[in-house]
Amino acid sequence: MHPPPQFVPFPKRPAQKPPPPVSERCIALSVTITLILLLAIGIPLGIILPHKYVLKLPLTIIVPLYIYPEPGAWDLLVLKSKEQEFLVIINPYNGPGAFPKPNPPFLENFQKLDVFPNVRKIGYINADRGNRPNTTVLSEIETYSGWSGTEGLAVHGIFFDQTPVEDSLENRAYLELVFTAVRNTTGILPPQMIVTNPGTLPNANLTLPSSHGADLTILYEGPFWDAPKHEKMKGKLKEMPGGRENYGYLVHSAPAEMSRPRLMMRGRMWGI
């Protein structure tokens, strides 16, 4: 068996001048903790623009919540936008951990998130490009399923990180096996959402829509300034199955000094 890979923090940018106060930042959601926001490709403007520029679109923001829950650290995550839908990736131990439930700090904060009707939680699992033994992955799915026995702890889906990119019978079988496990596990609550993160455009055969397929595939993971441009990604997606709502970017390290007009322009460039 391969040991699960260790979580590696995102690289830091070179030192910059101190950013302006949060109230002046060019981000629509004013949260006081450092977060990585997934920008849905089809409708990204609801995330990166001030509210007065944002159209009322059916947008769900996915937040990889990988930080340790210090007292009060997560409180503003949803309080600032009670009408906004959030899909929160919870990752206490680079996965669910070896025990039936997370330790009290994580447990209590996960339960706090469950109070909000606009929040759904999904559990993190690292697939290691399909190299991680499927028995280990299935075991972690079962652990997340068991969380439903504790009030306020149940998850509504799984985020599979580092999924395969190249097409092969082995990779297809691997994904179908773990996706089917999620769909057939009663402890994972509806909608039993499946998000995959190959971090790049995978072979189309790995994204074919079916009852066991992924709901959302992450096409890019990296810093804001390196995100693929609109026309480049639009051309690549012409032969891919599904619609705009089935693909997204995982973007981090947005430059604090970027002006609002430039953010607006970049948001339009990401739209497909």
- Backbone CA torsion sign across 269, 54, 193, 89: positive
pLDDT (mean) for 54-59:
46
pLDDT band for position 259 (50/70/90)?
Answer: low
pLDDT given at position 89: 94
Cα separation, 121 vs 157, in Å, equals 7
Cα separation, 79 vs 88, in Å, equals 14
Tell me: the pLDDT tens digits for 198-233? Answer: 999 999 989 876 556 899 999 988 888 888 877 778
Selected residue with higher pLDDT from 53 and 178 = 178
Cα separation, 129 vs 111, in Å, equals 31
Closest CA to 4 of 105, 89, 125, 167: 125
Percent of the chain beyond pLDDT 90? 38
> Which phi and psi (to 5°) does residue 140 adopt?
-70, -35
Asked if 253 and 227 touch (Cβ cutoff 8 Å), the reply is no
Domains defined for the chain, CATH in brackets: 22-270 (3.20.20)
pLDDT band for position 68 (50/70/90)?
Answer: confident
The average confidence (pLDDT) of the chain is: 75
pLDDT given at position 193: 94
Chain-centroid distance, C-alpha 19? 25
Whether residue 8 has pLDDT greater than 60: no
Cα separation, 208 vs 185, in Å, equals 22
pLDDT (mean) for 145-155:
95
pLDDT given at position 262: 66
pLDDT band for position 44 (50/70/90)?
Answer: very low
Is beta strand 37-40 parallel, antiparallel or unpaired with respect to 247-252?
antiparallel
Asked if 33 and 76 touch (Cβ cutoff 8 Å), the reply is yes
For residues 49, 53, 55, 60, the Cα torsion angle rounded to the nearest 10 degrees is: 20
> Which phi and psi (to 5°) does residue 37 adopt?
-110, 130
Whether residue 74 has pLDDT greater than 60: yes
Among 84-98, 118-132, 137-151, 251-265, the minimum mean pLDDT is found in 251-265
